[in-house]
Amino acid sequence: MREALRLVVPESEPSDHHALDVDATNADLRNAPAEHVIRWARETFGRGLVMSSSFGAESAVMLHLVSRLVPGIPVVFLDTGYLFPETYTFAEELAQRFGLNLKVYTPRISAARQEALYGRMWEGTDEDLARYNQLNKVEPMDRALRELGATAWIAGLRASQTEFRKGLRVIEPQDGVVKVHPILGWTKEDVRRYLVTHELPYHPLYHYGYRSIGDWHSTTPTTLEQDERDGRQLGAKKECGIHLPRTPEANASLKSSGL
C-alpha cells in the first residue's frame, strides 16, 4: 500500500476522509483480503468507524470478521418494528456470542402511527414504498451515523447481489462518509465456506427458503433457481435506500424535514 494513502490517526480522533485519494486507495485494496481492508479502515478512521448489520441470512460472516479485528466497533441495527421474531432472537444470540457493541435505532414514528397516517405503505405505489423506506430505514441510519460521529461505515455488500452493487468499489464516498465494502468480491461459495470454517449460523429462517431477509411483510422464500433478492419487495433496484447515494437536493430536503 502506498504510504501516502495510509492516514493513521489517533483512536480518539476521526480522520478527514476528504484527504483520501479514493481512486488510488481502491487500486490498492481491489484484490486485498477482507481482513486487510478492515485493518486499513481501522487504522485510517479510528473511532470514526462504524458498521451496520441487518442480522439477515448471512450476517454472522461480517459480524465475526469485523468484531475480531475492531473490538467494540459500534454495530448499527435498524429495528423497523416489522422484523421477524426470529431476527430479534438471532440478533441477541450473535450480540452475546461476539460481545457486540450494538446500537439499535428505530423510526421516529411508530409502526402503528405510520399505518394510521399512511396505510400499509409497502402495498402501495413506488412513492409509498419510498416513504416507507425513508421513515423506517434511511432516516434512522442517517441519525445513527450523525449521533455516532461516523466518518466511515463498513457494510457487507457483495457485487453479485444487485445491479447497483455490481458497480461499487471497495471504498466509496457516500453522503459525507466513506463506505467500506470488505467482502464486495465474495461469491456465495466464499460466504458458505467462511460460515462452515468458523462454525457460524445462518439466520434461523434461511433453512426455510428465506435467503435474503428483511421486514416480515416484504420478505418471501425463494427457490434455488431464483435470485436470492427476488424474495425482497424493495422496488426495481432491490435496495431499501440506505446504501443508495442521494443528490444534494435530497440531502438538503432530508435535513430540513427534521425526520
Going through the chain in order, the beta strands assigned E by DSSP cover: 49-52, 74-78, 101-105, 152-154, 171-174, 177-180
Please give the positions annotated as active site.
Answer: 240
Angle between helices 60-69 and 34-45 (to 10 degrees): 50
Q: What angle do CA 208, 94, 88 make, to 5 degrees?
A: 60
Residue with cell 402503528: 112
DSSP 213-257: --BGGGB----TTS-GGGGB--TTTT--STTS---HHHHHHHHHH
Residue 219 neighbours by CB under 8 Å, 6+ apart? 84, 210, 212, 213, 231, 232, 233
